[in-house]
Structure formats: C-alpha cells, structure tokens
Amino acid sequence: MKIVIKIGGSISMEKGGPNSEYLLKLLKVIEEINKKHKISLCIGGGKFVKNYSKNIERFKLKNKEREECFIELMKANVKLLSLITNKKPIYSLEDYEGEEAVISGIKPGRSTDANAAKLAEIMNADLFIKLTDVDGIYNKDPNKNKNAKLLRKINYEELDKVKGEEKPLDYGILDPKAMKIIKENRIKTILVNGKNPKNLLKVMEGKKIGTTIE
C-alpha cells in the first residue's frame, strides 16, 4: 500500500524543538511498516512553532507574514526527519516525483494537515493516517463536554458536520481544507491517538481504533 502518515506536532514537538525520545520510538514502528508498504510522512509544528508565534506577537505581523516564518521553522523538521528516515525532503508539492517523501508547512493559508492530504491525493495513496493527541473525532468537544462520544466511523458526506474553523496554528483535529481534499478524492483516512506509537501497528492490523473516514 501507499500510505501518508501525518505526525501531529502536538505529540512530536516540544517548545525547544523535536521530542527525540518520542520520534525514536515512532520511527521503529514506521520502519517495521515500511518493510511492506510505501510510506511518506508529514510533520507538524506543535509547541515549537506555537512558542515562536507567541514570542513574535509584539511585532504585529500579518497572518501571512507570520505563517511564512513558521514554514521556515518547519523546514528544519522536514530536513531532520528526511535524514533519519532516508526519505526525500519536499518543500513544494510540485517537486514530488513519486518517491517516499517528508513534508510539512509549504505555503501560508494551508495547514500541515491539508498538505498531508494533498500529498495523499497526488500520490493516489491507499491510506492517510493522522497521529494526534486525542483518540479520534468526537461528536462534541471532549474538553468541554464530558458526555462527548467518540465517532468510530464517518462517511465522507458527514465530514461537514464535524468541520471546525480555520485559524493559524489552531485547525482542530483535522482542518477544513484537509477534509475537503479527503472528501473530494475519497481518501480513506484514520485518525488515531499517536501518543503510543504502537497504535500505528494496530491500525495496520485492522483493529478498531480511532476514527475511520471512508
């Protein structure tokens, strides 16, 4: 299979940069899956970029200008991940030529979620997996509603019902542009809690975990 894995910044990036302990555990799992499947990766910015954003607030930059700074920061994450996985670093989706790749932020106004979904579209991926810091998509915000229910399955048409707002650095569990790409291209997508990297193996084994969009 051809798979795109989005590694959420919420689980892989600390204020000072990459969470090396976590990434080392995750990469062991990815290496195992990579023996049978073709995998491309997308890495988020997490606390690393959010902390930088907070520190430049006083400069009153426009959103586009701020995001241009964030993209430059995330290029370092792409380079690091490409070096330790032996996959090609991609800084523009126009440069993708079919190889196993690593991407992150590419242009202002488009989240890393959307970039990962776009890559899945371009490479005609069989599966798009997002590793995040929650168990999947809920019918209500679980941080505000203790009775929120985890949605195990959602069809493409139902995505509009769980769509959030588009805000720089705060796109929700899956941002609207990514949802649109997934819906239009019928990309099978699984959102799973990636705090335990071995959950990725459970996904590959077909176990009921997280939220599946298909």
Residue by residue, pLDDT tens for the chain (214 residues) are: 999 999 999 999 999 999 999 999 999 999 999 999 999 999 999 999 999 999 999 999 999 999 999 999 999 999 999 999 999 999 999 999 999 999 999 999 899 999 999 999 999 999 999 999 999 999 887 778 888 899 999 999 998 877 666 555 566 788 899 999 999 999 999 999 999 999 999 999 999 999 999 9
3-state secondary structure the chain: CEEEEEECHHHHEECCEECHHHHHHHHHHHHHHHCCCEEEEEECCHHHHHHHHHHCHHHCCCHHHHHHHHHHHHHHHHHHHHHHHCCEECCCHHHCCCCCEEECCCCCCCCHHHHHHHHHHHCCCCEEEEEECCCCCECCCCCCCCCCCECCEECHHHHHHHCCCCECCECCCCCHHHHHHHHHHCCCEEEEECCCCCHHHHHHCCCCCCEEEC
pLDDT for the residue numbered 209: 96
pLDDT for the residue numbered 156: 95
pLDDT for the residue numbered 162: 77
pLDDT for the residue numbered 140: 80
pLDDT for the residue numbered 117: 98
Residue of 17, 13, 107, 9 whose CA lies nearest to 65: 107
d(CA 16, CA 45): 11
pLDDT for the residue numbered 163: 67
Tokens (6 digits) for 30: 């990815």
The most distant pair of C-alpha atoms in the chain lies apart, rounded to whole Å, by 49
CB 111 within 8 A of CB 42: no
Domains of the chain: 2-213 (3.40.1160.10)
